[in-house]
Amino acid sequence: MDKPIVLDGHSLTTAQIAAIARSDVPVELAPPAMERASEARKVVLELSNSKRPIYGLNTGLGANKDNRIEPEQYHRFNTCILHSHSVALPPIANRDVKRATMLCRLNGLLTGMAGVNLEILYLLRDMLNYRIHPQIPERGSVGMSDLGNMAYLALPLIGEGYVEFHGEILPAGEALNRCGLSPVQLGPKDGLPLVSSNAFSVAKAALLCEDTDALLHMADAVYATGYEALGYNPMFLDTRGISIRPMEGHRQSLTYVHSCLNGSKLWNSGNESLAGALSYKSGCSIHGAVWDSLHYIQTLLPAYINSSDDCPAVLTREKEIISTDHFIVTGLAIAFEMLDIALAHLSKTICNRILRLDNEHFSGLPRFLRPEREIIAYSTIQKTVSALDGEIRHLANPASLDYLPTANESEDHGCNTPYVMGKTEKIVDLLRYLIGIEAMHSAQAADLAGGRPSGRGTGYIYDAVRQAIPFLEDDDRDLGADMQRAYQLVLEEKLLYQEEPSYAEG
């Protein structure tokens, strides 16, 4: 059993989110955080009889905020919030996203700004630990709180809706009963915090940060492998250039590429040719721009994960409940739109490197990396490469500007955050194919150029590819199956070279 991760509302990381979502690491609730949540609940109960309009407590929601809600209506009103907001549509989010969404909403509630019944916190914790996962549809949010999606997370808390429990789809009440858990009875200000949250988008963002970080490391390592196979002039990897223009992403990519080329004969090759394609000569600079886009998101995301997006929010010390606009996450959507464009540049660069490997005039190797003149070899894969890049180029088009006014035109802004995240998920997955295809080509090029690369990281990449995909000797096998195996290597992060990055000798 993994050691539980203690949630306090303020220190959850993307790595911890991935561990809890994907490896089922259990969670516990920090006592100080529960004390904050308890104090906030006391404020809600004290104000529950207030005659002053308090949004979502004693008023309706959205365009119905002019409706007065009396104390005797609180249970019904808060239950109706869940029902009326259950408007999302399939596809259903995958298991990792469901768990990450539950976790992000629980962590947000622990900030002590929502003021919900503490039983909700305990039940969310127990559902995570017992692996009871709400069936959350992906479509239904315009990015101003993921209302439609979050309602399906909330329904199981009251014993309604459906959940996935150890691979089986069950009515929520039945799954709770199997684990000895009881649904929650909603009271004042319990319903709105469960649906009015961007936890669905933030969960996707957190998992994407982890996935993109691994993806870029693999892209750098595979790039280094092809670079060594072609025997490019190592001057293009001179680290002294970083001091001239110290871009952090460029530095990170170049440092890691050097790590992969530690021990390589490339440094003593004597190649002083200035010829070559920018996709190789300037690969670290191009990759670095993608790293910089990811770094920007990594600076933003902790605040989204470890703060409250509740509207209204409870101020315990002042014993007030105030309206906020923290449900607006335009900045997060814009950041991922930027990452999408950066990843499309990476796609184009990878594709160009694959085409250069196939081109005898650039590579100095046999055309299409064929071992014999009469073999077609990797020629037709170029069409698949072009198709993948075309799909990524389309997905990189911005979508955060495409929304309509809702709530009787009172909610006239949106940013489509879950859809933007969905685009990024697809781009990352398509890039797994392209990185895998580049790895196939780099290994084939290495064999044609003289054998296994001598760099520690490049040799690691070569070995991983060759364990799954043998050298192509003839047109006698399904190259689509080879590409699928290469994709699987990237998906399972088997091309992730783990040595601590450092500048290579030479």
- How would DSSP label each residue in 167-203? TEEEEHHHHHHHTT--PPPP-TT-HHHHHS--HHHHH
The answer for 61, left when phi > 0, alpha when psi is -120 to 50, beta otherwise, is beta
Return the pLDDT at 274. 74
Residue 61, classified by CB atoms within 10 Å of its CB into exposed (0-12), middle (13-18) or buried (19+), is buried
**31-44 mean pLDDT:** 96
What is the C-alpha separation between 403 and 397, in angstroms, rounded? 15
Q: pLDDT band for 51, please (50, 70, 90 cuts).
A: confident
pLDDT tens digits, 244-300: 888 999 999 999 999 999 999 998 887 778 778 899 999 999 999 999 999 999 999
Looking at residue 275, its pLDDT comes to 79
Residue 120 scores a pLDDT above 60:
yes
What whole-number distance in Å separates Cα of residue 7 and Cα of residue 125? 10
Phi and psi at 147, nearest 5°, equal: -55, -55
Q: Bridge partners of 495?
A: none
Residue 306: pLDDT band (50, 70, 90) is very high
Q: Model confidence over 321-347: pLDDT tens digits?
A: 998 888 889 999 999 999 999 999 999
pLDDT at residue number 221: 98
Q: Given pLDDT bands bounded at 50, 70 and 90, which one contains residue 506?
A: very low
Look at residue 78 in the predicted model and tell me its pLDDT.
Answer: 93
- Average the pLDDT over 144-160 and give the result: 96
Mean pLDDT within 383-409 = 92
What pLDDT does 505 receive?
44
Mean pLDDT of 89-110: 97
Tell me the average pLDDT across 411-423. 90
**Confidence tier at 502 by pLDDT (50, 70, 90):** low
pLDDT of residue 500: 58
pLDDT for res 501: 52
Amino acid, res. 86: S
Cα Rg, the chain, nearest whole Å: 26
pLDDT in tens, 433-468: 999 999 999 999 999 998 899 999 999 999 999 999
51 exposure class (CB count in 10 Å sphere: 0-12, 13-18, 19+):
exposed
Phi, psi (degrees; rounded to nearest 5) at 208: -65, -35
Confidence of residue 473 (pLDDT cuts 50, 70, 90): very high
Mean model confidence pLDDT for the chain: 93
Burial class (CB in 10 A: 0-12, 13-18, 19+), 87: middle
The full DSSP string for 300-367 is HHHHHHTS---SSEEETTTTEEE---TTB-HHHHHHHHHHHHHHHHHHHHHHHHHHHHH-HHHHSS-G
What's residue 503's pLDDT?
52
Alpha helices per DSSP H over 117-262: 118-130, 147-154, 172-178, 191-195, 199-230, 248-260
The rounded percent of the chain whose pLDDT value lies above 90 is: 79
> What is the pLDDT averaged over residues 171-186?
97
Tens digits of residue pLDDT in 345-375: 999 999 999 999 999 998 999 999 999 999 9
Cα four-point dihedral sign 157, 162, 164, 167: positive
- Give the whole-angstrom CA distance, residue 146 versus residue 457: 42
CB 213 within 8 A of CB 430: no
pLDDT band at 209 (very low <50, low <70, confident <90, very high): very high
Domains of the chain by start residue, with CATH? 5-197 (1.10.275.10), 205-311+326-491 (1.20.200.10)
Q: Which residue has the higher pLDDT, 144 or 192?
A: 192
504 pLDDT exceeds 90?
no
Paired tokens of 492 = 């399972």
